[in-house]
Structure 1
Amino acid sequence: MNTRRDDGRLTLFLCGDVMLGRGIDQILPHPLDPTLRESYCHDARDYVALAEAANGPIPRPAAYSWPWGDALDILAAAAPDARIMNLETSITRSDRFAPGKGIHYRMNPANLPGLTVARPDVCTLANNHVLDFGRLGLQETLSTMTGAGLQVAGAGLNRRQAQRPATVTVDDGRILVIAFGTPSSGIPSYWAATDDRAGVDVLPELSRNSAPRLADRIHRHKRPGDIVVASVHWGSNWGYDIPDEQIRLAHQLIDNGADIVHGHSSHHPRPIEVYRNRLILYGCGDLINDYEGIGVHRQYRDDLRLMYLASIAPTGELACLRMAPTQARRMQLHRASPEDTQWTRTVLGSVSRRSGVRIDAAPPGMLTLRPN
């Protein structure tokens, strides 16, 4: 059990997509067959070659800690009470590629230490890659993770499991994580879990009627002293505009008891909002992937990654949000340079301006948002 700080605050580490499959799997000690069924690449090792062409050689095999790089030191210094991330990779040896998909992510279960080295408390799985190798691949993913003592949210062997919150116990309360995804992120509708079929929790559409089923889940599980994180995989990969229906749903979630909306799917950070003194991350951006060297959409600087450290008051209100900027080089996270930190601050501050938030460059090497 984690212990609250003297002022009762909790610190939560949140990040976007952690993609340990494909090229990342190839540099770890136990790579799977690199064969791909993509129009862009037919061999996962090609993604490693692209990264090496851009920034230099990558050790093979690399240590399990290699992809995380400086992120592990940042986490150790922050000592968060809970570490929550979206794992966008199937953990399976299956070679049954899901039909109708252009990209498939998988990592070898033997490479699981590449995830556990970051000590996640909760991995959300309601995304568009966790069933890349079918329901048997999902079942192996779930058994591998639960066998290692990892908590998951947003996927399960049936609807009940997929909708069950993950729980992190703290003094005088809990951190509850509910996770779901939407078709706008690329989740096929037939991936949805049912009473007798494994899958993910899919919200079919974003409309004014979308919130009640989520609100019921929050009300059913939340107790005094609990902090609720609503983790949602939604939207497109690129761009800063947030659709009105996403804003509406985020507000409805908070109106109905969520304390943080943890959005992901975009490959780069999207706007931040503080609504009713509670944090909304519309898109955290990827944290780990194998995109280095591809060279598309360079204006978004998707090589720059953010680690979010939210300090939450006992009432659920945001006390402070610190963000650690990092950069991916040689398939490893490094602390971002002062120039790249300032670029991130300028862009994120600009796209978040309509929400009235201000982002400061402090302390050194960090960005800080404090609610007005």
Structure 2
Amino acid sequence: MSTVDPIGTGGPPQRRPRLASIYGAPARPSCPSGPLDQFCPSGPSVRGFRRTMRRVKWARSLVAVVATLTLAACDAAPTRPAGGPARSASVAASPSQAGPAEITLAFAGDVHFADRTAGLLSNPATAFGSISATLSSADLTMVNLETAVTTRGTPEPKEFHFRAPASTYGAVKAAGIDVVSIANNHTLDYGRVGLSDTLDAARASGVPAVGAGADAAAAYAPWITEIRGTTVAFLAFSQVAELWSSWKATDTEAGIAMTRDLSRAVAAVRAARQRADVIVVYVHWGVEGESCPSAEAREFAGAMAEAGAHLVVGTHAHLLLGDGWLGRTFVQYGLGNFLWWRDDAYSNDTGVLRVTLHGSAIVKTEFVPALISRRTGQPRLADGEEAARISHEYANLRACTGLATTPTGQSR
């Protein structure tokens, strides 16, 4: 099976060291040409390592025989390097074994370059503006790329169409974004020719794109990477009903990984669980303009949790939705728009979700409030009263999610 190329080593000096890809989604093939329409309505419109690693604590009081055996073992075998993986829950920690380092994953919402944001690609290195520092500060960052990356293709029979040039991926990399979901209702706006170009551009740029592929095997495949001793798998699915039956990936046709093919989605997560310590699922779901998750979204979140996902993150509603715990799985139902073509498309409130893990355990979650500029469409960190308002409203969004404030049940 061919693979998506590992993330490249380019980017601004402040970027973290790049991640080592150990498994990627299969490579995809490449497709009458015409002018590039950034937005075309057809109807009514690992980076800096944590400077401090957990120090291994030696037991202070040991039976003399145990102490002797331990010292003998240390003399006989080399010590595992600090930060090495400790993936087997059945292996107890010992003085000669260092646990995995803490890592931080970051997530943001919908991104594309059209209308007011199209011009930002004149300088991909600064396209995301000041928010790039926040994105780059995590060990790995993921967003939803809501556009076809192509200059070709024919518009599909739908209202809104988005496409952008290949420099889109350069902007994504420069901002500190490491992997994108393309499981959404715009990746095939310009047909399968556009999808093929989108996949080819991703591979050429070194930015992994999950949730679509040359066939179902590719679309449902995870991208897996190791971050300082913890192996993380990323999968993506779309639950949007628009054109889903004609856009879905099949055994013989390119397309999107769809939640409605539930058995295949569940199987993909379970298979990834056998290969990775942490499973991340990014979903395009919900109802536009609705700040509470749909019944269908809640059902799918439950299926993902049962299949073994540690973290489920969503977008599509164009505004923020709540987050919380579903057993031992952390679920975020909607991160809203992030870098967006239209002013106040339901809401300019946005933010970055930061999740800190120690091994496979989520030890901290944090929502960093931000606002989308009415002029440029770029997100910027909120401060003062703006930050307080967004944070307060965000916390209240949990009430209609059915999610808990703390994890419940046994650890995975």
Task: State how far apart, in whole Å, the 2-side matches of 1:229 and 1:162 are.
Answer: 15
**C-alpha spacing 1:109/1:245, structure 2 compared with 1 (3 Å):** closer
Q: Of the candidates 316, 325, 333, which is equivalent to residue 369 of structure 2?
A: 325
**Pairing 1:203–2:263 present:** no
* Equivalent residue number for residue 268 of structure 1: 319
State, as a whole percentage, how many aligned pairs show the same letter. 23
**C-alpha spacing 1:188/1:245, structure 2 compared with 1 (3 Å):** closer
Q: Of the candidates 350, 362, 377, which is equivalent to residue 305 of structure 1?
A: 350
Question: Secondary structure of the residue that 1:269 maps to in structure 2?
Answer: coil
**Pairing 1:10–2:103 present:** yes
* Equivalent residue number for residue 138 of structure 2: 80
* Equivalent residue number for residue 31 of structure 2: none
Question: Secondary structure of the residue that 2:236 maps to in structure 1?
Answer: strand
* Equivalent residue number for residue 37 of structure 1: none
Tell me how large the CA RMSD over aligned residues is.
2.3
Task: State how far apart, in whole Å, the 2-side matches of 1:284 and 1:296 are.
Answer: 13
Question: Secondary structure of the residue that 1:86 maps to in structure 2?
Answer: strand
Question: Secondary structure of the residue that 1:123 maps to in structure 2?
Answer: strand
**C-alpha spacing 1:339/1:235, structure 2 compared with 1 (3 Å):** same
Deviation of the 1:13 alpha carbon: 0.8
Question: Secondary structure of the residue that 2:339 maps to in structure 1?
Answer: coil
**Pairing 1:336–2:382 present:** yes
Question: Secondary structure of the residue that 1:183 maps to in structure 2?
Answer: coil
Task: State how far apart, in whole Å, the 2-side matches of 1:80 and 1:107 are.
Answer: 26
Task: State how far apart, in whole Å, the 1-side matches of 2:218 and 2:276 are.
Answer: 24
Which runs of 5 or more structure 2 residues have no equivalent in the other structure?
1-19, 21-45, 55-100
Deviation of the 1:23 alpha carbon: 3.4
What is the TM-score when the length of structure 1 is the normalising length? 0.77
Deviation of the 1:250 alpha carbon: 0.9
Q: Is the 8 A contact 2:170 2:205 kept in 1?
A: no
The structure with more radius of gyration: 2
Task: State how far apart, in whole Å, the 2-side matches of 1:350 and 1:170 are.
Answer: 33
Q: Of the candidates 147, 155, 164, which is equivalent to residue 97 of structure 1?
A: 155
Q: Is the 8 A contact 1:308 1:323 kept in 2?
A: yes
Q: Is the 8 A contact 2:124 2:168 kept in 1?
A: yes
Task: State how far apart, in whole Å, the 2-side matches of 1:25 and 1:150 are.
Answer: 20
Q: Is the 8 A contact 1:67 1:333 kept in 2?
A: no
**Pairing 1:353–2:406 present:** no
Deviation of the 1:65 alpha carbon: 4.0
- Deviation digits for residues 6-64 of structure 1 (CA, Å, limit 9, x no counterpart): 343221011111122343224432xxxxxxxxxxxxxxxxxxxxxxxxxxxxxxxxx32
User: Which AA in structure 1 matches 2:315?
Assistant: H
* Equivalent residue number for residue 182 of structure 1: 239
* Equivalent residue number for residue 48 of structure 1: none
**Pairing 1:193–2:249 present:** yes
Question: Secondary structure of the residue that 1:145 maps to in structure 2?
Answer: helix
Task: State how far apart, in whole Å, the 2-side matches of 1:114 and 1:168 are.
Answer: 21
Task: State how far apart, in whole Å, the 2-side matches of 1:288 and 1:247 are.
Answer: 26
The aligned length equals 312
Task: State how far apart, in whole Å, the 1-side matches of 2:318 and 2:345 are.
Answer: 11
User: Which AA in structure 2 matches 1:247?
Assistant: R
Q: Is the 8 A contact 1:183 1:189 kept in 2?
A: no
What is the TM-score when the length of structure 2 is the normalising length? 0.70
Q: Of the candidates 207, 210, 214, which is equivalent to residue 150 of structure 1?
A: 207
Q: Greater CA deviation, 186-195 or 11-20?
A: 186-195
Task: State how far apart, in whole Å, the 2-side matches of 1:265 and 1:232 are.
Answer: 9
Task: State how far apart, in whole Å, the 1-side matches of 2:302 and 2:253 are.
Answer: 31
User: Which AA in structure 2 matches 1:85?
Assistant: V
Deviation of the 1:371 alpha carbon: 6.2
**C-alpha spacing 1:66/1:224, structure 2 compared with 1 (3 Å):** closer
**C-alpha spacing 1:258/1:111, structure 2 compared with 1 (3 Å):** closer
- Deviation digits for residues 132-186 of structure 1 (CA, Å, limit 9, x no counterpart): 11111111111011011111111111111111101122233311011111134x3
Q: Is the 8 A contact 2:285 2:316 kept in 1?
A: yes
- Deviation digits for residues 285-318 of structure 1 (CA, Å, limit 9, x no counterpart): 11111112xx564xxxx212111111123133x2
Superposed, 1:212-231 pairs within 5 Å as: 212-223=263-274, 226-231=277-282
